Chain A
Amino acid sequence: MSISELTTAELQSGLQAGTFSAVELTQSYLDAISRREESVGAFLTVCGESALSQAAAVDARRQSGEQLGTLAGIPVALKDNICTAGTKTTCASRMLENFVPPYDAHIVTRLKAADAVLVGKTNLDEYAMGSSTENSALGKTRNPWDLQRTPGGSSGGSAASVAARLTPLSVGSDTGGSIRQPASFCGVVGMKPTYGRVSRYGLVAFASSLDQIGPFATDVTGAASLLEVLAGHDERDSTSVNRPVPEYSRSVEQPLEGLRVGVVQEHFAEGIDEEVASSIRAAIEVYRSLGAEIVDVALPHSKYGVAVYYLIASSEASSNLARYDGVHYGHRASEFENMVDMYAASRAEGFGDEVKRRIMLGVYALSEGYSDQYYLKALKVRRLIRNDFDAAFKNVDVIAGPTCPTPAFKIGELVDDPLQMYLADVYTISANLAGIPGISVPAGFSPAGLPIGLQLLAAPFEEEKLLRAARMFERETDFHTKVPQF
C-alpha cells in the first residue's frame, strides 16, 4: 500500500516510528499531485516548496527530540477562502485573483502550532456560493470517482483532494452543506462543527451566522484529529465560544451505549434517489444491529429550510460582499466614468453569475419595504427550525439520514438551474440554520459506483457523540477504505 493510502493515524504512527520521514511523506503526496492533479483539478495553488521546508523542519525537530504538535508532518490542504499570510487567497473569484492576505486565519495559526504541513489551497465555488464547484472562476474540479461529474461544493477541491489521495487531510467551510455534500459526493468524511466551535477569523465571510470551518479526512478518526486542532476559542471572533475542546481523537473509538438514533420519515419522501434511500436504510440497520434504538423524529419545519436559508444566506452575503468595490483591495475595472461607475464595473467584472444573483437576492430581501416580509420572516422561521431540533434531541442522541438526495451529478447538469441546485441542499441546510454539528460518512455506492453519504446530526457541542456514533458505523463497514482509480 502506498503512503498516500494510509489513514491519518497510520501516518502519525509511521512518522513517530521513523518508518518514513515527513519530507518523504510530503514528497509522496506532491508526487501524487503531479500525477493526478491534472485530471482532478482540486488545487488552485500548490505550495510544494514551502511544504517541503515545513516537513524538513519537523524532521529536524523530531531528530533533536523536541516535542511536536499532534499533526506534525501531516499534509493539510486549505480551501482557498481561508486567509494564508503571504499566499494568494482567491475565493476562486476574479475579484480576489491576486489578493495576498497580510495575516493568517486563526485556524491556520492553530495548524502551524500543531506542526501540520500546509500543502496548498483548494478550489471552491466562488465565494463558497454553490454546490458543485462549477461556479469557480479560476479552475475546474472533477469528481475522482467519475471525472465527468462534479465533486460537489462549495468545498469541492478540499473533498476531491482527500478522495484522490492528494492529501490525507483538508479543511473546508460549510454554510449550507458545503463540507458534508462534497464529502458525500466524493466518498470521504466531512464534518461541520457546531456554530462557534471553530473560529471564523480569517475565513472570508459568505453568511456570517451560518459559516463554519470543518475537517475532511479519509476516515472518522482522521476528521477527529483535525477537528481537535481546528476547534477552540478565539478572542478575535465574537461568535467563537469559550468552551474547552474535548480530546476527540481519543474518545472517538468508544462506542455509545444505549445510542438512540432518530430517523426523519420526511427525508425519504421527497425527491430522494432510490439508490441513496436503500444505502441509508441499510446504514440504519447497522445501528440497529449494534443495539441502537431507532426512533422516529419529526422536523416539521425542515421543509422550509431551503427558503429560509436562501433568504438569510443571501442577505448576509450581499452585505459581506459589499466591501469588494475595487477601492482598497481586489479587482478594479480599468474603464469607468466616475466613482460609482468604478464600483459597479469592478464588481460586474470581478463577480460571477451565481454570486451576482445571490447579492441581488440579498439586497432585495433587505431593502426597504421588503425586509420584514423576507429577511425578518426568515429569521423567525429559523427559530422554529431550531426548536424542532431541540425537541428531537430530547429523545435521540443523533439524527441519521441521507446527506444528499442523489449521488454526484454531471458537470453542467444543473448549472443553468440554480433553483434545482438549491433544492438539493435540503438535508444539509437545516443544520446550519440551527447551528448544530453534522458529519457525512461514506455509506455505500450507487450501481454506477458513485459514493453515497450518511449524515449524522447532533445537538450543539455534541461533536464527541457525533464522532463516536460515526465511528461505530464506520467500524462495521469498509466503504471508507475504497479509493477511486483514475
Chain B
Amino acid sequence: MLTREDVEKVAGLARLKLTEEEISEMADKLCQVISYVTVLDEVDVSNVEPMAHVADVANIFREDAVRESLPREAALDNAPKSDGKYFLVPQILENA
C-alpha cells in the first residue's frame, strides 16, 4: 500500500505542499481508493486495445492561417505579477 514516502514523492511530482497531518490523511484516503480499484485485476484484458479516445476519429487539422492574437494587456490581465510586458516569477535557479 502507499507509504508516507510514496505520498511525499507523489506530492512532489504534483507540486502540492502538504502538512504532516495532510500526508497521513492523504495516505489513508488514497489507500482506500487504490484498494478499491484493484478490483480491475480480475478483468481479462488480453487482446484488448486501450481506449484513449471514445470517438474513432483521426486526422483533425486546421489550415495554416494566421489569426489575431490577444492584445498584450489581455494576455497579462490575470497574471499574479507582471511588469506590463512580461510575466514575472521568482528567480529561476537552473534545474531547481
Contacts and interface: CB of A to CB of B under 8 A. Distances in A.
B91 A419 contact: no
Nearest to B35: A419
A300 B45 CA distance: 14
A383 B40 contact: no
A382 interface: yes
B66 interface: no
A245 interface: no
Nearest to B9: A367
A338 B36 contact: no
Contacts of A379: 50-52
Given A326-B80, A329-B78, A378-B40, A434 B54 contact: yes
Contact of B62 (A235, A336, A367): A235
Interface residues of B, number: 50
Interface in A257-279: none
Given A241-B57, A342-B90, A345-B17, A381 B43 contact: yes
Interface in A268-310: 301, 303-304, 306-308, 310
A304 B16 contact: no
Contacts of A383: 48-51
A245 B44 CA distance: 39
A181 interface: no
Interface in B60-96: 60, 62, 70, 74-75, 77-81, 87, 89-93, 96
Interface residues of A, number: 67
B41 to A, nearest CB: 8
A437 to B, nearest CB: 12
A32 interface: no
Contact of B45 (A102, A322, A381): A381
A147 to B, nearest CB: 29
Nearest to B63: A235
The winner among B11, B43, B51 for most chain A CB atoms within 10 A is B51
B45 A364 contact: no
B30 A307 contact: no
A465 interface: no
A344 B52 contact: no
B18 A348 contact: yes
Contacts of B3: none
A353 to B, nearest CB: 8
A140 interface: no
B78 A377 contact: no
A339 B54 contact: no
A176 to B, nearest CB: 14
Interface string A160-204: 000000000000000000000000000000000001100000000
17 contacts: A98-B78, A102-B77, A196-B55, A239-B57, A301-B43, A311-B37, A322-B15, A344-B16, A356-B22, A360-B16, A361-B33, A377-B45, A379-B51, A380-B43, A419-B33, A435-B55, A460-B55
Lowest 10 CB-CB distances: which A-B pairs, in order? A435-B54, A379-B50, A332-B80, A329-B78, A344-B17, A383-B51, A380-B45, A348-B17, A307-B37, A102-B74
Given A338-B91, A380-B43, A386-B51, 7 more contacts: A100-B78, A102-B75, A195-B55, A304-B40, A338-B93, A379-B52, A419-B29
Interface of A: 98-100, 102, 195-196, 209, 235, 238-239, 241, 301, 303-304, 306-308, 310-311, 318, 322, 325-332, 336, 338-345, 347-348, 351, 356-357, 359-361, 363-364, 367, 374, 376-384, 386, 418-419, 422, 433-435, 460
